[in-house]
Amino acid sequence: MAGRPIATAVTVVALIIVVVGVDVLFLRDHPWERLLVNIGIVLVFGAFTLRFLRES
């Protein structure tokens, strides 16, 4: 249970880095595509978290 907050913090920081990186590098001038891709990234991170980081 002690590693849980660390895993959550690392996941949130990784999510922020990926979203901002994709926005800046690829989707700067495409607001609707940016929104859809950001939602997709969040869903993928959520699925990853539920699959691999959930406590059994």
pLDDT tens digits for range 23-52: 999 999 999 999 999 999 999 999 988 888
Is the pLDDT reported for residue 56 higher than 70?
A: no
What per-residue string of b and e applies to 14-36 under the rule 16 or more CB within 10 Å gives b? ebeeebeeeeeeebeeeeeebee
- Rounded mean pLDDT, 9-23: 94
Give the pLDDT score at 38: 96
Asked if 19 and 38 count as a contact pair (C-beta separation under 8 A), the reply is yes
3-state DSSP call for residue 41?
Answer: helix
Distance CA(4)–CA(38), nearest Å, equals 25
Distance CA(45)–CA(51), nearest Å, equals 10
Greater confidence, 6 or 56? 6
Where are the chain's structural domains? 8-53
- Rounded mean pLDDT, 13-26: 95
Is the pLDDT reported for residue 19 higher than 60?
A: yes
